[in-house]
Structure 1
């Protein structure tokens, strides 16, 4: 059954292009997607010469995310080799364990050459790594020639071209090797840490927005209470709160007399809490309203009294 893909999808377009470029096997590697799944590839790489893996032919899987090439693939070795665990995602800076180091310019060809280049390196406790002895690796290299994949059979293993001394690498292989040199081995216990990154505040993700906003630390002497009050009260008191949110200069360089004078000045300055900003204004408004009502009633009573007296005087005069 033929699987239909959206040809406008960037990942599908990229993978179909790479499948076309890698359809012909080379002496070092061969990779192709499964017939029913474009996002899972099977590959075969030859062990690097002059190493414990010389003569070995190793088979594996590459599982690509839907966001490829913006996110890295996961790489899994299926042939016992003594360097990478079988059936477990290996940890390289080009693999899914480290998306922060992945570059969209890297490709499946780059990953294959990187695997070959990393095989002679030390595991150093990385995820999916092994540190077998040279004799064990050489023995596994011989046994690898008899490995058959449950899906591919022996086709991928026998598809590699025979090695010859006169072989000239293609331009694509040369470019991929240059990219592979930028790939660093990632060990879980030896990942370098940046002191500045550790001390930086963690980013805050707003669930109501698509953007990510970094939390910035407050400057020295900034009044957090006044900033929060400004957001709660609204725009009508923003000017009043801004007067109280001015940054206080660093007091470490001031003399004791200047520091005491500054503290006294701050003590005399009114705080910018919601109750102290809003309640006096509300009390004044209520008092003014009551006064207006009382004056209105008094004026109305005075007018009514004068009208009443005028009518009574006119009545007496008529009598």
Structure 2
């Protein structure tokens, strides 16, 4: 496999390092890449104790992008478990559905510990989540040990080490568990909706993100142009007082009708809010009258000056004629 990939690639270096660290299985998890594909890993995790998944061993796939670790992997469960949908990418803040929350410090070990920690939580309607009853999950946990992967040939009977009372997590497990505590179970948010829709899937908002989605919807409604809101609801008494209903239809208006409608809305606002009108409205008219008076005075002065010049010219002409006759 080393001859197949560019060893100078950051993704290849990181994946080969993690493959060496995870080569030996533990009591709780194990993961290794396929023999012919370094960017597809198969993993096995043990169900968390004291839960509906106690006693189960679950198998799945991790598909990593070429930009790893700068971009998150996609996680897919292959064993029926009652918590994650089989064959579908699950929706975690560490998975490919939420690249905005991915951190390069997270690793495949962190993802495995996060999956174990999130199995007892509620699905909240996110992508790839299921909410089976406890009885169904316990029954699937017993059946999970009979699962054998057709791709990697891994059997759940021998995938992990047997649990022992004296087994203690390693230092790497402690560090991965601390990083896993930063991971959140996420449904679709406004930032990841476009990425989810491009894949043809859609997350339902959880109880933790309903406030964010309602706020963003209100901002979208407030950001619409004012003319669009008034044209969508022309029957409203005051502009913006009622939102457009679902049954309203858009009727194009001519420029004259639009100006008349705007003037009517302006008059209604002035009549409904007298305190908002200017305290002294005749001021513009007064300034206009003063400008007209100044122009009239200037015209009169120019007229008188022109008349004086004309009379002086006539006077001088008559005086010259009189002197010539003498």
1:149 CA drift (Å): 0.2
Pick aligned residue for 1:190 from 197, 205, 215: 205
TM-score, scaled to structure 1: 0.62
Match of 1:55 in 2: 55
Describe the superposition over 1:36-57 as per-residue Cα deviations: whole angstroms up to 9, x where unpaired. Answer: 1000000000000000000000
Contact 2:58 2:156 in 1 (8 A): no
Is residue 44–residue 157 contact of structure 1 (8 Å, CA) maintained in 2?
A: no
1:70-111 alpha-carbon deviations (Å, 9 max, x no partner):
111000000000111111111111111111111111100000
Structure 2 CA distance, aligned partners of 1:58 and 1:132?
16
Give the 3-state SS of the residue equivalent to 1:59 in structure 2.
strand
Q: Structure 1 residues 151, 18: CA separation in 2 closer, same or farther (over 3 Å shift)?
A: same
Number of residue pairs aligned between Structure 1 and Structure 2: 216
Deviation of residue 190 (structure 1)? 2.4
Alignment-derived partner of residue 227 in structure 2: none
Q: Structure 2 matches for 1:74-223, cutoff 5 A?
A: 74-155=74-155, 158-187=158-187, 188-191=203-206, 192=209, 193=212, 199=219
Q: In the TM superposition, what is the alpha-carbon distance from 1:258 to its structure 2 partner?
A: 9.0
CA 1:260–1:7: 2 relative to 1, 3 Å: farther
Assess if the C-alpha contact under 8 Å between 2:146 and 2:155 holds in 1. Answer: no
Calculate the aligned-residue CA RMSD, in Å.
2.9
Q: TM-score, normalised by structure 2?
A: 0.60
Distance 1:63 1:258, change over 3 A: farther
What SS class does the counterpart of residue 58 from structure 1 fall into?
Answer: strand
Match of 2:54, SS state, is: coil
Structure 1 Cα separation of the partners of residues 13 and 124 of structure 2: 37
Aligned twin of 1:237: none
Give the whole-Å Cα distance in 2 for the aligned partners of 1:259 and 1:177: 74
Aligned position for 1:313: none
CA contact (8 A) 1:60 1:75 kept: yes
Residue by residue over 1:175-205, the C-alpha shift from the partner in whole angstroms, topping out at 9 and shown as x without a partner, is: 1111111111112322522777664999xxx
SS in structure 1 at match of 2:140: helix
CA distance in 1 between counterparts of 2:7 and 2:115 reads 30
Query: Contact 2:147–2:156 (CA<8 Å) still a contact in 1?
Result: no
Residue deviations 1:212-264 (CA, integer Å, cap 9, x gap): xxxxxxxxxxxxxxxxxxxxxxxxxxxxxxxxxxxxxxxx9995449966xx9
1:63–1:74 Cα contact (<8 Å) kept? yes
The answer as to whether partners of 2:113 and 2:176 remain within 8 angstroms in 1 is yes
What displacement does 1:168 show?
A: 1.3
**Residues 43/118 of structure 1: CA separation in 2 closer, same or farther (3 Å cut):** same
1:155 deviates by 4.6
The answer for the alignment partner of 1:21 in structure 2 is 21
Q: Which runs of 5+ in 1 are unaligned?
A: 203-251, 266-319
Q: Helix, strand or coil for the counterpart of 1:189?
A: coil
For residue 8 of structure 1, report the CA deviation from its aligned partner.
1.1
Aligned-pair distance for 1:115?
Answer: 0.3
What secondary structure, in the 3-state scheme, does the structure 1 residue paired with 2:161 have? coil
Structure 1 Cα separation of the partners of residues 168 and 282 of structure 2: 77
- Give the Cα–Cα distance (whole angstroms) in 2 for the partners of residues 78 and 142 of structure 1: 15
Deviates more, 1:157-166 or 1:126-135: 157-166
3-state secondary structure, aligned to 1:152? coil
Q: Is the 8 A contact 1:40 1:62 kept in 2?
A: yes
Partner Cα separation in structure 2 for residue 180 and residue 109 of structure 1: 9
